[in-house]
Each structure stands twice: as C-alpha cells, then as structure tokens.
Structure 1
Amino acid sequence: MGNIGASIRREREQRGWSQARLAREVCRAAGVVGEPVGRQEVSRWETGKRTPREWLPFIAAALGVPVEALRKPQTAAEPPLPTLADYLPDDDPLAALSAHTGRRIGAGQVADLKQRVHGLRLADDVLAGGDLMRPALRELRSAVRLYQEGTHSELTGRQLLVQIGELAQIAGWIASDAGQHAEAERIYRLGLSAAHRAEDSTLAGNLLGSLAYQRTNTGDLRAGIDMAQAALHSAEDAPPRARALYFDRVAWAHAKAGEAQPAMRALGEAGESLAQHGGEDEPDYLYWVDSGELQVMEARVFTELRRPLRAVPILRDVLGRYDATHARELALYLSWLSVAYADANEPEESAAVAERVISLSADVASERTAERVRVILSRLQEFPDVPEVSALLAEHETACMRQL
C-alpha cells in the first residue's frame, strides 16, 4: 500500500467511515451528480492499486485535511496491521504432492465435489458438529487427494482448490461446533492455503473470519480482533454479502472484548454492505447471509454489551419467524434471549427461555449449545431466591447427577 493509500485509510478509519461513505463524501466534495466514485474505487486507492490523481483534492476536502497530509509519509510508530498472509500455514499442506501422476480430473469431478460440499453445508443447517465430523473430514481428505494425486489443467486445479477451501471452511466450522478447536484451526489453515493458491480473496476472507470467530469465542480476544480485521481488509473487492459477514465478525470480536464503539460501527458497516446486495455474482456459501442473520448478530452484540432493552425486541422478532427445524441455531439464539432477560432483571422470563434452550440442546451434539447452557445457568445463579430459577437449577443438577 502506498503512502497516499495508507493515509486515506487511516483518515477514513479515524472518522469511523466505511469506504462507501468516503466515496459519497468525495462525490459531494467534487460536486458531481451520481456516484462516479464507488466503494471499489476507494478500495483500489487504499490498497495502492490505483493512484487518485485528479480526485486527491476532493478526497482531502471530504476528509477535512490538507492534500499534503495525504501525500507525506506516515511517521506513526504503530506496527503494521496483520494481513491474511500472516495466518497462512508455515508449510503449504497442498504442495507436498504437487507432482500430479494419477488419473485425469475434469469439470465433471469438480462439479460432483461442488455438489457434495454444498450438501454438507445444508446438512450443517439441521445437524450438529458431533454428527457431521466424520463425514466432513472424510470428504476433505478425499478432495485433497483428488487435487494432489490427479492430473488436471490449470483452470481445473484452481477450481479444485476453491472447492477444497470451501470444504475446509464448513469442515472447520463443524469441528469447532464439536468442540475440536485445535483440529478446526488446522482445517481452517489448510483452507486458507487452498484459497491463497487459488487467488480467491473472498474465500480466504471467509476462512480467516471463521477462524477469528473461533478464537474470539474461545477467549483469545486480541487474536480474534486482529484476524477479523485482516479478513475484512484482505477482501476489499468481495461481494456485499461477504463484506457484511466479515463486518459482523469484527463487531462480535469487539463486543466480546467490551469495545462498544468499534462494535457498533462494524454493525453499521455490515448493514450498509448488505444494502448494496443485488444481482451480483457471489459464492454459493453466502446463501444464508440476510437481514435476519444481521439482526441476530446485532442482538448478540447488544446482549454481550449488557444492553438488554435493545437486544430483547430484536431477538423476539427474529425468533418469532425462525425455522424450528434448525434446532441448534434456535437453541443458540434463545440462549442470548435468556441472558438478555436476566440482564433486564426478568429472571422468571429468563428461566422460562432457558428451559427451552436446555430441552432443545439435549439431543444436539454441539459444544456451542452446551457452552451456552453453562453460560445461562451461571447467569441465573444470581437469582437463587426466584422460585422459577431455583426449580430450574435443581432440575438441571438432578439431571446431571443421573448422567454420572
């Protein structure tokens, strides 16, 4: 990134603006009709892919700084932000068997693999990690062997790498849901290698963002924030729904760290990105990113920041129309509602929702739901004198004793 690009990004981020917001402000400063400058053009300036020669005075005017402030070298002693390359495996796990000597692989095998990957993704909507771990790993190993041992054209090889990356993302997600965090990280990094070799920055951003989400949820908050930011900045040209997903992960990482303002800014950026979605080419794996999912993340962030009056209405609205066949997600979303009720000093409501969470989680082989049950019960310990709470805690303790 050149000095000008780095300066533009620094000034924009200091104001909490998105790239789309800066693009609008530049057009306004230039007094032009329409939007000849858009988010992608700002991204090209910031990454040094294009120099904003004639636009530079208007960029400076929009940011409220002299032109020279954007031209001069940065003197800040801050370390550079992490990039996606910082998280690639030390040894490329896909390079060891790069001498292809096996059967010829063509478009048909790639199409079959793509169909199986999407089928696994759809299965994850209704089954938990403990149920899908074995088939997911089996598919991933098979796909890697297909790439390493077969012969194929450069285009087919790239398509295979993309499918390996997509498969690694869902397999890593499944492993994480099963509580196999070390295995999940290994799988995610394998996927990062595949996406990097395929030059698919959107897929790489999804993989690194997934790893960031796991790190955040397992308590490594600084790494979670750095990874989520690196995923976002590595895929500046990603389609709108992908960027909305990346911003959501940034918001969650900041919320878990108790950093309210950057979390809220990222939520706003996610909504703005999603609003730009409409008819563009995008990967199949973004099918589930919609306004309802962004609402859920918004409510989760509010809950994590102990703002129950903001969280409860959103969660009740989303849960009122949620697909009951997705038992794991339903249990997870209800768990945040239960915690939000407790934060709002409504322990009776919290206990009622918690009972439903426990019931839904009983037959779900997911470490995520198990952890959320533990969080709820710990929170409800603060209300031992409320009859509904004491009854729930006693019943859960009895059930645990029966399992011993």
Structure 2
Amino acid sequence: MRNSVGPHIKRLREQRGWSQSRLAHEVCQAAGVIGDPVGRQEVSRWETGRRTPREWLPFIAAALGVSVDVLRAPLVPAEPPLPTLAEFLPEGDPLSPADGRTGRRVGMVQVDDLQQRVHGLRLADDVLAGGDLIRPALRELRSAVKLYREGSHTGEVGRQLLRQIGELAQIAGWIASDAGQHAEAERIYRLGISAATQAEDHTLAGNVAGSLAYQLSNTGRESEGLTLAQAALNDAGNDAPPKARALYLDRVAWAHTKLGGVDNGQQAMRALGEAGQALSEDGAGIESPAFLYWVDAGELRVMESRVYTELHRPLRAVPLLRDVLGGYDATHSREVALYLSWLVVALADANEPEEAAAVAERVISLASDIPSERTAERVRVILRRLQDFADVPEVASLLAEHQAA
C-alpha cells in the first residue's frame, strides 16, 4: 500500500498556503529545536515519499494542527474528475457552424425531442441535486451544441435549436452551480446567454443572465451580481412576460440584499414589491414561457422570507418561512433543507436557540443525503451562527456532534 503520510503532509501544507520552507520552520518550532535542522529539501523528501518522517511525525502533526492519525490515514481514491464544458466545445465561438456541416438534416422533430429532454432535466432538478445530475446535464448540452453546429437545418430550425441550447444551458448551469462547480457554471451560463441572444429570445437571455447574477451574488462577487441582475431586467424592458419580470426583480432584490447596507436593504424591499406587482399581471395578455412554470406567489414568498432573514428581521422572516415550509412538497428535499436553514438563522436572530438547534438537526439530517454544495454551505452557515449560543445545552450538544462540519 502506498505510504499516505507524504500526500497528507503536502495537502495540509498547501491548504494553509505554506511553502515547504515555511513548514520546515514550523516543524522545528513545534519540536523546540534551534537552528532549523529540518529544511525545505527534507520536507520535499517527506512529501514525495523518498524519506519517512518517523521521529518528526508528531511535530509535523502539531505544526499542521492535526493528529498523527490524520497523517497516517489511508488515502481515499480520488473520484474521476467531472467533465467540463471546455472538453465538449470547440475553441473560439462554440456556436459557430462547423466547416462543411456534414451532419444529418435537422428538422422540427429533432427540436421537439430536444425540448422534451430539456424539460425532463428541469423536472429532475426539482427532486435531485447537482451532484446527481451534472454529468447527464453536460452530456445533453454537448449533444445539443453538436447537433446545431454539425447538422444541416433551415434558419428557423436553427433559431429553435439555439433557443433550446439557451434553456439547456440555464438548467445545466444551475446544476453545475449546485454541485459547487462555479467556474464551469459561469462558462455554461455565458454560452446560454450567447445562444439566447442569437435566437433573439430576450426573455430567455434575461433568465440565463439572472441565474448567473444569482451565482455571482452568492459567491463573493456581489457588485457584479447586482450589475448583471439589473442588466437582465433593463434589457428585457416592460414588454417582458409578467413571470419573467417578477423573476428578474427577484434576482435584483437578492443582489441588493447580498451587498448589504441600509440603502441596499430598502432597494431590495422595493424590488420585491415590484416583483409581486408584476406577477399579479400574469394572465393579462402576455403569455409566459413554459420554462418559468415554477415562478408563482409561493416562490416570491420564499425570496421575501430569505431577504428578511439576511436583513436580520426575524419577526417578519419566521412567520413567512413557516408558511412556506408548511405548504412545500416534501419530495423536494434540497429546497426543504435550504429553507429550513434560513429558518434556523431567523430563529437565532429571534433569540430562540433551542428551537433553532432542533431545526438545525433536521437540516443536517436532510443535507447528509443530498450531493449539493448549496446545502453543504448552508450547514456551515447555521453551525457558525449557532456558535453564539454554545452555552445553551441543546446547541452545545448539536455543535459537539457535528463539529467536523
């Protein structure tokens, strides 16, 4: 069996951003020796397996802040890397026609078949997480782009194919983001914006752009998220279907919320009010596209409750979240876990740590079976938030049990 100590030393060193020389110095400090008898080359020998630390092992563990058992633990075989869009698409414009177009003739039959598969993937995302769906999603996207580039088709069929590629990119990007593959999701979203724009489907382009804006807002790029969310809303104009405008405004509200501050909080509440007004106009003559089937008053209440939670207004957030969760389909376990996580934070803000701990236990139980980075991150958020109540027995018990998280 391969010696696991060297790879563990290298992994833990790199996690801390240390050079080999820095680790050598820290090991000598931990051992209490003078003159740094261990140097960079010795650390290199440990990491490559050319030399076993032996007597230095306890001091290496101390320097890295782990136990000796961690350094001796067997290596877990790495999972095969996830496929990336770059592997599937040509260089340059991924939607440019292939030279010669030697592929088969493509008509509306193939477009309709692709549309059904896209919708099926969207429905699957309602009950499955990104880790389960990312591979089939990327396979579908690769096939769709290949069909468009290499097939022979009329201009109208080409536009319809681009529209389906845009829809597929939106859901595939969402799935990649849920799986924690944010850079890949961004590439997919940008492909979708390009496809929707070329198809002259501005409603779809706004939906894809809003999805990317949502990711940016949630991954430390709040200013970019707000700029993109506002661009999606502005480019769509007042002629956009009501559900689309409601969704764009929802994204704007969230982007303002994540930026923080009193003014952004007020802007967020204003956008939520406008979203509700837009949705009330649904059915007044402008038909909303099928891909917005999930946008309804319940979804607006979800966003409103989350905004109130982020703004630390528990008296508004807690009743809303309880109302949302009371009517939510239990088969959508990822969404239930996410909404419960916001309830934990709101209850903590309301100084109800015992109930917050009970709800947190349910979140952690649900999240343990869901391959979603979103739920994993929310578990980390609620455990950090509950640290403020570590002296409450129910919270102390929860934190002790799930400290590793």
TM range (shorter): 0.7 to 0.9
Q: Residues of 1 paired with 2:366 and 2:224: CA distance?
A: 32
After TM superposition, give the deviation of residue 283 of structure 1 in Å: 1.5
Matched letter for residue 289 of structure 1:
V
Rounded to whole Å, the distance in 1 between the matches of 2:233 and 2:344 is: 31
Instruction: Give me the whole-angstrom Cα distance separating, in 2, the residues matched to 1:364 and 1:329.
Output: 11
AA matched with 1:262: Q
1:34-59, CA deviations, whole angstroms, 9 ceiling, x for partnerless residues?
xxxxxxxxxxxxxxxxxxxxxxxxxx
Does 2:373 match 1:367?
A: yes
CA RMSD of aligned residues (A): 1.3
Distance 2:347 2:398 in 1: 15
Tell me, in whole angstroms, the C-alpha distance in 2 between the residues paired with 1:154 and 1:316. 50
Taking only the aligned residue pairs, the percentage that are identical comes to 74
Aligned residue identity for 1:154: G
- Equivalent residue for 1:273, pick from 250, 271, 278: 278
Q: How far apart are the structure 2 equivalents of 1:231 and 1:93?
A: 22
Distance in 2 (CA, whole Å) between partners of 1:96 and 1:350 is: 55
2:139 maps to which residue?
138
Distance 1:281 1:212 in 2: 24
Structure 2 CA distance, aligned partners of 1:224 and 1:114? Answer: 29
Match of 1:244 among 246, 255, 280: 246
1:291 paired with 2:292, answer: no
Q: Which residue of 1 aligns with 2:160?
A: 159
User: Residue 388 of structure 2: SS of its match in structure 1?
Assistant: coil
In the alignment, what sits opposite 2:24?
A: none
**Greater Rg, structure 1 or structure 2?**
2
For 2:318, the equivalent position in structure 1 comes to 312
The equivalent position to 1:355 in structure 2, one of 339, 361, 364, is: 361
Alignment-derived partner of residue 264 in structure 1: 269
Q: Secondary structure at the residue paired with 2:329? A: coil
1:183 corresponds to which letter in structure 2? E
One-letter amino acid of the counterpart of residue 241, structure 2: P
Where does residue 340 of structure 1 map in the other structure?
346
Paired amino acid for 1:272: Q
State the alpha-carbon separation in 1 of the partners of residues 394 and 288 from structure 2.
Answer: 48
The aligned counterpart of 2:170 is 169
TM-score (structure 1 length as normaliser): 0.75
The one-letter amino acid of 1:230's match is: A
Moved more, 280-289 or 166-175: 280-289
CA separation in 2, counterparts of 1:107 and 1:118?
16
Counterpart code for 1:277: D
TM-score by length of 2: 0.75
Runs of 4+ in 1 over 3 A off after TM superposition: none
Distance in structure 2 (CA, Å) of the matches to 1:100 and 1:154: 14
Aligned to 2:230: 229
Partners of 1:373 and 1:303 in 2: how far apart? 16
Counting only pairs closer than 5 Å after superposition, residues 314-329 of structure 1 correspond to structure 2 as: 314-329=320-335
Tell me the CA shift for residue 92 of structure 1. 3.1
Query: How far apart, in 2, do the equivalents of 1:220 and 1:99 lie?
Result: 42
Separation of aligned partners in 2, 1:382 and 1:317: 27
Aligned length: 310
> Which consecutive residues of structure 1, in runs of 5 or more, have no partner in the other structure?
1-89
User: Offset of 1:349 from its aligned partner?
Assistant: 1.1
Structure 2 distance, partners of 1:198, 1:299, is 35
Contact 2:166–2:204 (8 Å) recurs in 1: yes
How far has the Cα of 1:93 moved from its partner?
2.2
Match of 1:7 in 2: none
SS at match of 1:345: coil
Residues 99 and 148 of structure 1 are in contact (CA less than 8 Å); yes or no, is this contact kept in structure 2? Answer: no
* Contact 1:201 1:235 (C-alpha < 8 Å) held by counterparts: yes
Q: Which runs of 5 or more residues in structure 2 are unaligned?
A: 1-90
Mean CA deviation greater in 235-244 or 372-381? 235-244
Q: Distance in 2 between matches of 1:135 and 1:288?
A: 22
Deviation at 1:138, TM superposition (A): 0.2
Q: How big is the shift at 1:284?
A: 1.2
Question: C-alpha offsets along residues 78-126 of structure 1, whole Å, 9 cap, x if unaligned?
Answer: xxxxxxxxxxxx9532115275332100010000000000000000000
**Equivalent-residue separation in structure 2 for 1:243 and 1:323 (angstroms):** 25
- Counterpart code for 1:392: L
- Give 1:50-65 correspondences, 5 Å limit: none
Aligned residues of 2:97 and 2:148 also touching (Cα < 8 A): no
Displacement of 1:367: 0.1
Q: Give the secondary-structure state (helix, strand or coil) at the position aligned to 1:97.
A: coil
Report if aligned partners of 2:102, 2:152 keep a CA contact under 8 Å in 1.
yes
Sort the Cα spacing of 1:299 and 1:98 in 2 relative to 1 into closer, same or farther, 3 A.
Answer: farther
